[in-house]
Structure 1
Amino acid sequence: MAFNMYSQRLLVPVMRIAQSNTRLQKALVSIDRIFDVLDEPLDIKHKKIQLGLQKA
């Protein structure tokens, strides 16, 4: 009984640290993907767009 209690008190923090590491790694990969998208060159041709607004 006491062994189970002590092992849980030891393993729960270790598991939380491992989960935090997993979350951090996923966040870093996500940030890397976002920057990859932002670094792509734009292929938009500059055209004059009329918005239908009139000058007052």
Structure 2
Amino acid sequence: MENKIKYVCTGGCGGSVTEEEYNSDNTVCGTLTCPKYGQPFEKKIYCVVCGQELTAGEVHQH
């Protein structure tokens, strides 16, 4: 099963970037009203089929 990596803000603004955007230096939250403004995004792994968030190394089946 293929997984997708996204980098997300955990401050409640819902900000997220793709792995490509993150690697292009978009690494922190830019939403001025977010409590985590200027803080680094956190790496998250998602199933491309159902969108469920996975932990590193988790085996996910449908």
Q: Which has the higher contact order (CA 8 A, sep 6+)?
A: 2
More strand by share: 2
**Structure with more of its chain in helix, by fraction:** 1
Q: Which entry has the higher C-alpha Rg, 1 or 2?
A: 1
